[in-house]
Structure 1
Amino acid sequence: MVISPKVSLNLSVDILNDYLKSDNLHVELLIEDSSSDPEKALNALKKLHEKGVMVVIGPSTSEEAAAMVPYANENDMLLIAPSSTAVSLSLDDNLFRMVPDDKNQAEALALLMKRQNITEVLTVYMDDEYGSGLNAGIIEKGSDPAYGFRIVGSIPYDPKLSVHDTLVQEIEEAAAGLPKDTGAILLIGTESHAIGIFTTAGIESPISDYKWFSGDSIIREAGILNNNDAAEFAAKTRLEGVAFACEETLTLVPLMLATGLMSGELGHAPSPDALPIWDALWFIAETYRLDPHADFDTYKSNLRALFERGGNLFNQWTMLNEYGDLKSAKYARFTATKGSNGDIYWNLDGMFIRSKTSGMFITDADGKLTHEPGDIVIGAVLPITGVNAEIGTGAKKAIELAIEQANTYYSKALGLNIRFSSDIRDSESDAAVALEQVRALHENGINLIIFGGISDELSAVQEYARENNIILLGTRSTAISLSDSDDFIFRLSPDDSHLVKAMVRLMEEQGKKHLVVLYRDDIYGQDFSHALSETVTGSIDSFSYAKNETDFTSVLDEAARAVETAGYEGTAVVVIGTDEIISMLEAVKEGPLTSVAWYSGDGVSQSRNLLEAESAVSVAIQTNLTCVNFDSAADQIFIPMRHVAVEYLSRAIKGNAGWNEISSYDAAWIAMNAYAMTRPDAPSEELWNIINNPYGALGIGEQYVMNEAQDQSNSFYVFYKVIERSDGPIWTPVAYYRDIKAFPDELKIVSE
């Protein structure tokens, strides 16, 4: 096995075993080297079979797969291939492929050549399962007038070829009649063959005057750029082509994280075929975790079922077709480009995407990766002290972790000469101080700020930010009245109208017809309380308390009288605030308030501080306190990199990371990618065009699909309650809610 895939496996298994620890399971890697040789690959498979291995990640090449599949079929072994793509392998057998077959790549290349107005194409292909299959696909496209080009010749070469003089001579002779402006050469092979052909020919060869294209085994490979002669040839011929979803023009945090982690180990970008290996290992392990004692047929069926509700780090569904190949197709397209300073790099031009409804279509990059050097400061205003300190301290560590990982990604994987750091200011959980800190960052030239304050703080800074073109990435604010399309505020959570709808759905399902509402008298509490009154079908008694209140005796007495008047049957208490709710719980007396169920929102859901307050925990358990917050776990999709990132965040905060840390981490990546796709000194308008693009962004928690007010529009919520275990209290999920087009107003209760 080459180094990139091996690094991918070793990096992944460490986090994976932490994930499996609570189920008393452990994954051990047995790695055999196939040396990219079909015979050796088959022998390696036999060795693994003798050791009792049932599921194998591999093979990497189509030639190896052709040699291994018959043995796997005969011996009940399942192969999970990360990169073999030959069309001839699309069969109903024991081979699952984490990539689409080459019919998709042939179409992507044909569309690319059509877009470049190519009329005549000479193909040069490796004569094996992969090369001959892809070449046949291109020939088929060339015979279709819709693509506008014809194949004038095809030159096969031996996969074991090591000296390329004769092959280069054949190419030169065959290409002699190609038109210089509309003729092209398509190379189908491997990185090593490309380097051999390019260095043998050199930039003085007549074939260097033609446009060249290539496929996913050559495009974006680091080895080509690391060889000076090969890089010069690639740049002169404007070598262009596609690689399987190895990079994106949008913010794809799972992909960036995985690529950065591997680049940190390798010192350069990993091979694109190393990335699906990460997902493959997690899907295999998760299937085992769900049913450790399954026989082969049951395991195979379970794995296919998991793929049906899974997502990979390329932001694709992992559903397989009838032959066990990935249904969806996404390719990044690159051109070898020489910069003004003489450096040669792979320029990301856009994407090819196949969807169910639109077929294969092309997108262009919204921006270009910057090749300007520079130090970039990401600003943040967080409540690091004060009543909401738990929010701020967790967010601070999440942002710092993201910056550390992003610096590795941008420098090692992409070769950019930019460096990120942070200027994190403390709002002290005070709206006036938050405004002062935003003003101070702006005066220091920082106009893109991660804002971790609650809605009261955001309300205080909204107008100043608008007047000064300051971009705020809001991670905690959810007040409905702050939804405004006329600003540069991008909120990663939906506004509270979505949360209220989810909460009311659960309460009504549980028979609650009368609500006693306690709300903090600020914009968050007022908006939430009003939304409740607009949504519930039953009756409400509402009582407010001051936002800096510390003595809750009076409001609790009022609430207790309201509960007594309404009666216990069908009555519930809803409390709307943040960490001050912990003090409120500690002040609750035995009586009416402990005789009914309590509910709350994201202000206290999954609070670590609450778990450390013994008397608050006691009341929370007694009242069955059920809290709801935005949480992508409600989408019920298995996405391996979500678990990986949450584990890294949990290590950073020395606790269980929740939506606060996840959204702060995502916000940092979104901010940094905006600079990477523009330039270190980009003004707010340019940064905003990258952030507020029509395709959104993929964080580790969720796809950010924004509405007209630049607020998250997806509605995914998880309800949690506190339970006591032998090792202490924990938050545990009791219900999931999602309200999207495919699953409108869907509630799933998993525990009462």
Structure 2
Amino acid sequence: MIKKDSIRQNGQILEHDGYSGEGDIRLELIRDSTIDLGSFPIILSQPGSLMIPIRISSDFGVQAVATITYAGGRDAHCHLDSFNPGVIGTPFPMNSTLSGFGTAILEATKIGVEDFNDYLRDIHEDWQMVLNIRDIHQQSISEIIDEIDTSVYLGPPDGTTLYDLSQHSDDIVVVSCCATTDSLSLEDNIFRTAPTDAYLGASLARLMSYNDIQVILPVWTDTIQKNEYLNHIIEAFEEEGGTVDEGVIQQEGLTLGELAPQIEEHLKLLTDNYGADTVAVVTLPTHFVDFMQTMSEYPQANTVRWFGTDLLARNSDIIQNNASRTLASNSGFTTLQMEGVGLHLDDIRQRLASSTGMITTHDMLAAYESAWILGLAMQYTEY
């Protein structure tokens, strides 16, 4: 059975009647401009490709897509791909230092899928999105891909695992909510609903410049992702005319608390030269609240501004601890918040907060939205 208007020519909808029957479907390619599956052969009017979704029967779980590529003359190639409709691979971190983040993002993804499935039922579609969830700390990406019979994925939310997934197979489509690593901005089948580190870094730099900050002291942990993010912040801030101190880096084996005296010394030199009201700490540490608690005991740290990345936006742990709350108040601590929009934003935000027990972040909203983006794309392409 071929549903009406389900065939795509070079990605574009073709208007045609539906076809229902048994046995072979004869496909011929000739020069014309009409497609009618009931009476005529399928026609390609120009070189390109046809994607034809085929349902074997209404009660059979597997569907197929016949893809015909036509180069010209009598040269055409056809291949048939089978798939389980609606099955979505969902690799997430659920047992590590990222477990809180991974669990919250997965929960937001589930809620997005639930709402999209409600939408499908309301419009009487005959398929649903089904998540096949796997823990990336229990299985490798290779094992997950080999075991899940799908070429469509929601997640993973982190750049490293997303890169591994993209390297394993070319024949996949991935929508990731939260992987911001700029090096993943390639022309491939990876789509992300979060801005890249380049965009986020430039936005934070402009925010600091807008707040009359002239010099920044970077404090960060030494990871590939944070180094890349910080480089974008530095480049954009210098383009805004600002000055960047060499900063304080947390090497492996050192805690940021152990580096506190060094940070305080840097801040004293900068405030003596530039004035406390134009100096800011830009921080990308791993254990941020613990770091703020330690730095709250240093007087110079309480006189300058503090800025954080989107990773710290709406982090309620900061205000639940007296020491970190004091430093945040004294320093006018500001994070980069990517705000959502939409008629149902407040309702969705409240539902995500209720379900996760956490303040809703833009990453959670992006995860919810990713489910809808992928679902609508599947619906549009008759996947």
State the SS of the aligned residue for 2:180: coil
Taking a change above 3 Å as real, the CA distance of residues 482 and 419 of structure 1, as seen in their structure-2 partners, is: closer
The structure 2 residue matched to 1:425, chosen from 114, 134, 144, is 134
Rounded to whole Å, the distance in 2 between the matches of 1:604 and 1:391 is 12
The structure 1 residue matched to 2:197, chosen from 486, 489, 496, is 496
The structure 2 residue matched to 1:605, chosen from 313, 316, 328, is 313
- Whether the 8 Å CA contact 1:369–1:676 is kept in 2: the answer is no
Which amino acid letter does the alignment assign opposite residue 509 of structure 1? Y
Match of 2:178 in 1: 476
Match of 1:551 in 2: 255
Q: CA deviation at 1:577?
A: 4.3
Rounded to whole Å, the distance in 2 between the matches of 1:369 and 1:677 is 12
Matches of residues 433-448 of structure 1 in structure 2 within 5 Å? Answer: 433=137, 436-444=139-147, 445-448=149-152
Q: CA deviation at 1:590?
A: 2.5
Match of 1:455 in 2: 159
Matches of residues 328-727 of structure 1 in structure 2 within 5 Å? Answer: 340=20, 374=61, 376-416=86-126, 418-427=127-136, 433=137, 436-444=139-147, 445-459=149-163, 461=164, 464-465=167-168, 467-485=169-187, 487-536=188-237, 537-541=241-245, 542-546=247-251, 551-567=255-271, 568-577=276-285, 580-588=287-295, 589-633=297-341, 639-678=342-381
Taking a change above 3 Å as real, the CA distance of residues 628 and 425 of structure 1, as seen in their structure-2 partners, is: same
Taking a change above 3 Å as real, the CA distance of residues 399 and 420 of structure 1, as seen in their structure-2 partners, is: same
Which amino acid letter does the alignment assign opposite residue 543 of structure 1? V
- Whether the 8 Å CA contact 1:478–1:493 is kept in 2: the answer is yes
Rounded to whole Å, the distance in 1 between the matches of 2:320 and 2:93 is 20
Which amino acid letter does the alignment assign opposite residue 129 of structure 2? F
State the SS of the aligned residue for 2:255: coil
Taking a change above 3 Å as real, the CA distance of residues 584 and 381 of structure 1, as seen in their structure-2 partners, is: farther
The C-alpha deviation readout for 1:20-77, integer Å capped at 9, x for no partner, is xxxxxxxxxxxxxxxxxxxxxxxxxxxxxxxxxxxxxxxxxxxxxxxxxxxxxxxxxx
Rounded to whole Å, the distance in 2 between the matches of 1:474 and 1:377 is 16
Match of 2:27 in 1: none
RMSD over aligned Cα, in angstroms? 3.4
Matches of residues 260-339 of structure 1 in structure 2 within 5 Å? Answer: none
Q: CA deviation at 1:368?
A: 8.7
Q: Percent identity?
A: 17
Which amino acid letter does the alignment assign opposite residue 293 of structure 2? E
What is the count of residue pairs matched by the alignment? 312
Rounded to whole Å, the distance in 1 between the matches of 2:277 and 2:319 is 28
Rounded to whole Å, the distance in 1 between the matches of 2:103 and 2:316 is 12
- Whether the 8 Å CA contact 2:194–2:363 is kept in 1: the answer is no
TM-score computed with the length of structure 2 as normaliser: 0.70
Rounded to whole Å, the distance in 2 between the matches of 1:612 and 1:439 is 41
Taking a change above 3 Å as real, the CA distance of residues 621 and 383 of structure 1, as seen in their structure-2 partners, is: farther
The C-alpha deviation readout for 1:321-348, integer Å capped at 9, x for no partner, is xxxxxxxxxxxx9999666279xxxxxx
State the SS of the aligned residue for 1:408: helix
Taking a change above 3 Å as real, the CA distance of residues 632 and 411 of structure 1, as seen in their structure-2 partners, is: closer
Rounded to whole Å, the distance in 1 between the matches of 2:135 and 2:316 is 20
Structure 2: runs of 5 or more not aligned: 23-49, 62-84
Matches of residues 202-241 of structure 1 in structure 2 within 5 Å? Answer: none
Could you say which structure has the higher helix fraction?
Answer: 1
Q: CA deviation at 1:603?
A: 1.2
Q: CA deviation at 1:572?
A: 0.5
Rounded to whole Å, the distance in 2 between the matches of 1:337 and 1:649 is 42
Taking a change above 3 Å as real, the CA distance of residues 672 and 367 of structure 1, as seen in their structure-2 partners, is: farther
State the SS of the aligned residue for 1:518: strand
Q: CA deviation at 1:386?
A: 2.7
Match of 1:285 in 2: none
TM-score computed with the length of structure 1 as normaliser: 0.38
The C-alpha deviation readout for 1:625-644, integer Å capped at 9, x for no partner, is 101032235xxxxx323333
Q: CA deviation at 1:610?
A: 3.7
Please tell me whether Structure 1 or Structure 2 has the larger radius of gyration of its CA atoms: 1
Q: CA deviation at 1:552?
A: 1.4
